[in-house]
């Protein structure tokens, strides 16, 4: 059956139209997606939300333009079921009713303003679909614009089993707007941001059942952009990035380079999406801190496995029936 999923985060709004095959637990076969259309636009819905607590009119207008186009695409595709989720920026906004009303007027149904824990579980389901279940348990991490989700789980008999999940108010847009304002960030700003991220991530990891975790799987734009840099790609190539293993040391080196670069320099990188230029330094810092903190607890993990699949795929998979 053909389904559509929309993920509206702090930084971007994304659409996936896919044909989905339900899981067959008796044979241990998970649900499967075949992409029909996949698209991402940076609308920065969460711009200023950390400081003002409200979604701005300009951000709402940018999101409406993208959602109107997405609605036309999915209607023309013949999708029979649609699920739209809104995450950190919408959870935090005092005027989220304005956003919900805009979505209802445009898409014809309400978005689900999901909790951080639901977001983590959906990200996990989307991320592990292409992984060998025997290489788990997995720690899947989704670094978004306003929040970071961390979830530990496994895949058994074609079904996801979640052992623990944590959502942190830490994301690439939030850390940039709050602490990394200079271009490039000053050494003092970088140190303060690293201390803040370390405290939040360390506390989050302490609340997860990490014993037995064998693979660290980061997803979303920050992780895939860092992977593109580590792989020295001359263009953004999802096929080269998906399930690429990147050493922990490479993550640290890339983060340091991106944090020290000016926005003009970042914009010239051939794999860099224009909408990530100003926030990738903060995102890469979060990823670097995460890798350091995971390795401190799990020294056997010497690399990350980056997945191009995440909450968007999890939303689509949830419609399988």
pLDDT per residue as tens digits for the range 169-205? 999 999 999 999 999 999 999 999 999 999 999 999 9
Q: List the chain domain ranges.
A: 2-116, 131-306
**Other Cβ atoms closer than 10 A to 189:** 18
Smallest Cα–Cα separation from 272: which of 42, 70, 10? 42
What is the fold of 131-306? Answer: Nucleotidyltransferase; domain 5 (3.30.420)
| Cβ neighbours for 21, distance < 8 A, ≥ 6 positions apart | 31, 32, 33, 34, 320
Collapsing DSSP to helix, strand or coil, 138 comes out as strand
Whether domain 2-116 has CATH 3.30.420.40: the reply is: yes
The reply to whether 2-116 and 131-306 are identical in fold is yes
pLDDT at 158 over 80: no
Distance CA 39, CA 80 (A): 19
Distance CA 209, CA 186 (A): 36
- Position 29 scores a pLDDT of 65
3-state secondary structure 263-291: HHHHHCCCCCCHHHCCCHHHHHHHHHHHH
Band of pLDDT at residue 62, cut at 50, 70 and 90: very high
Mean pLDDT for the chain overall: 93
Among 87-96, 105-114, 243-252, top mean pLDDT goes to 243-252
pTM: 0.86
Summarize the confidence of residues 132-149 as an average pLDDT. 92
pLDDT digits (tens, 9 = 90+) for 270-297: 999 998 999 999 999 999 999 999 999 9
Bridge partners of residue 187, in order along the sequence: none
Collapsing DSSP to helix, strand or coil, 197 comes out as helix
Tokens 């789980």 map to which residue? 153
């Amino acid at each position: 059956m053909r389904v559509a999923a929309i993920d509206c985060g702090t930084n971007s709004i994304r659409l996936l139209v896919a044909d989905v095959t339900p899981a067959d637990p008796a044979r241990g076969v998970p649900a499967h997606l075949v992409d029909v259309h996949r698209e991402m636009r940076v609308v920065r819905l969460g711009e200023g939300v950390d400081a003002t607590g409200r979604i701005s009119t300009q951000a709402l207008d940018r999101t409406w333009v993208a959602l109107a186009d997405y609605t036309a695409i999915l209607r023309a595709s013949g999708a029979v079921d649609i699920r739209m989720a809104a995450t950190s920026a919408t959870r935090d906004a005092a005027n989220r009713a304005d956003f919900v009303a805009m979505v209802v007027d445009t898409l014809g149904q309400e978005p689900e303003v999901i909790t951080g824990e639901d977001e983590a579980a959906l990200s996990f389901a989307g991320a592990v679909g292409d992984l060998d279940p025997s290489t788990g348990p997995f720690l899947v991490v989704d670094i978004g614009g306003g929040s970071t989700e961390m979830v530990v789980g496994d895949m058994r008999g074609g079904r996801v089993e979640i052992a623990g999940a944590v959502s942190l108010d830490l994301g690439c847009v939030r850390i940039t707007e709050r602490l990394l304002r200079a271009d490039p960030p000053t050494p003092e700003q970088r140190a303060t941001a690293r201390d803040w991220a370390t405290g939040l991530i360390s506390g989050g990891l302490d609340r997860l059942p990490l014993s037995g975790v064998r693979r660290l799987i980061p997803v979303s734009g920050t992780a895939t952009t860092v992977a593109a840099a580590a792989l020295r790609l001359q263009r953004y190539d999802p096929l080269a990035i998906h399930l690429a293993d990147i050493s922990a040391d490479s993550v640290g080196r890339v983060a340091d380079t991106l944090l020290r670069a000016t926005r003009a320099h970042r914009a010239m990188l051939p794999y860099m999406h224009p909408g990530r230029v100003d926030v990738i330094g903060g995102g890469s810092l979060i990823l670097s801190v995460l890798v350091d903190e995971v390795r401190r607890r799990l020294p056997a993990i010497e690399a990350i496995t980056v997945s191009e699949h995440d909450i968007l795929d999890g939303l689509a998979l949830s419609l399988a029936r």
